Amino acid sequence: MAFVKSVKLNSGYEMPILGLGTWGSPKGEVAQAVKDAIDIGYRHIDCAHVYENEHEVGEGIEAKIKEGVIKREDLFVTSKLWNTFHRPDLVRSACEKSLKNLKLTYIDMYLIHWPMGFKEGAELFPADENGKTLFSDVDYVDTWKEMENLVKAGLVKSIGVSNFNKRQIERVLSVAGISPATNQVECHPYLTQKKLMAYCKSKNIVITAYSPLGSPNRPWAKAGDPVLMEDPKILTIAEKYGKTAAQILIRYQIQRGNIVIPKSVNKNRIASNFDVFNYELSEADMQAIDGFDCNGRFVPLPHLHGHPHHPFENDEY
């Protein structure tokens, strides 16, 4: 089994640099994917309430603990507070719901999923009669104080943010008793996030890279959209190392020091994505890949423009 390097967080905990993503994984296949990943050697699983599959993740984890393959403390599990639960009085119960679904007594990393709050209620995506998303006026800095209370209550070990820009992180830091341990953002060669990476590093906040393979299964992909894993420049580098495009894209993030969470439910691909610790990309190839940056965001959320806390609307990074 490959040894997975870990990244030391500002909270004092170690977070494995490679994890299994579960966003968009087909229902009914997630529990098996988690079991396969654990057998292959993954010790980091990335989840979220809004993915609506945390109960399956919990089944997979529980099965492997019962089999004696792992102990709970061997695993690093991330979950995320959804946008409809930003109101301070809703934060703890939202976390407890994820804990119940995951069949865990604590979560290793709990993130504010987006800086944007949505109208509170039963709907994950509340909308008016015209289909326009209904916003909440809750400020994420007030949400953050409740995130800190989850740590104090022992429900979570570390807390962080996701999809926050520099200015938004600065606002959190201005009120924080506990600093965010990670900022989970879209990151790949078309969106290298160099400036945000440098800023986060200066604050001892680690970047977790989501959609590292270019999110090929995103539901809103259109014909003619660029496909990162089919980029001839990536394929040329992959051929040179005798690796797949996905392995190159994952290795690229690892060498940058970013935590990376590729998603798959296919056992062979889960194994292939894990097989990235026995080689290194040359400095020249790392720089070449850096050069593909075109601010190419696969998850831009144009339908949420107008939200006062939209992270991609007014800020450079």
Contact assessment for residue 38 and residue 58, using Cβ atoms and an 8 Å cutoff: no
Polymer length in residues for the chain: 317
DSSP per-residue codes, 200-224 = HHHTT-EEEEESTT--TT-TT--TT
Q: Residue 1: its pLDDT value, please?
A: 54
For the stretch 27-59, pLDDT in tens is 899 999 999 999 999 999 999 999 999 999 999
User: Residue 124 sits in a domain of what CATH number?
Assistant: 3.20.20.100
Residue 80 phi, psi (nearest 5) = -140, 140
Could you tell me if residue 89 is inside a domain? yes
Report yes or no on whether pTM surpasses 0.95: yes
Residue 74 lies in a domain: yes
Please, which residues bridge with residue 20 across strands?
45
Total domains, the chain: 1
Is 317 part of any domain? no
Contact 158, 108 (CB under 8 A): yes
Q: Per the domain annotation, does 281 fall within a domain? A: yes
Residue 315: inside a domain, yes or no? no
The phi and psi torsions of 20 (rounded to 5 degrees) equal -95, 120
Domain contains 247: yes
- Whether residue 249 has pLDDT greater than 70: yes
Phi-psi sector, 291: left (phi>0), alpha (psi -120 to 50), beta: alpha
Check if the beta carbon of residue 205 is closer than 8 Å to that of residue 179.
Answer: yes
Evaluate whether residue 292 is within a structural domain.
yes
Enumerate residues 6+ apart whose C-beta is below 8 A from 119. 84, 126, 134, 135, 136
C-alpha 78 chain-centroid distance: 8
Whether 258 is covered by a domain: the verdict is yes
Q: 154-204: per-residue pLDDT in tens? A: 999 999 999 999 999 999 999 999 999 999 999 999 999 999 999 999 999
State how beta strands 182-186 and 156-162 pair: parallel
Query: Is 113 flagged in the annotation as binding?
Result: yes
- Active-site residues: which are they? 51
Q: Give the domain extent around 155.
A: 6-304
Read off the pLDDT of residues 191-244 as tens digits, 9 standing for 90 and up. 999 999 999 999 999 999 999 999 988 989 998 899 999 999 999 999 999 999
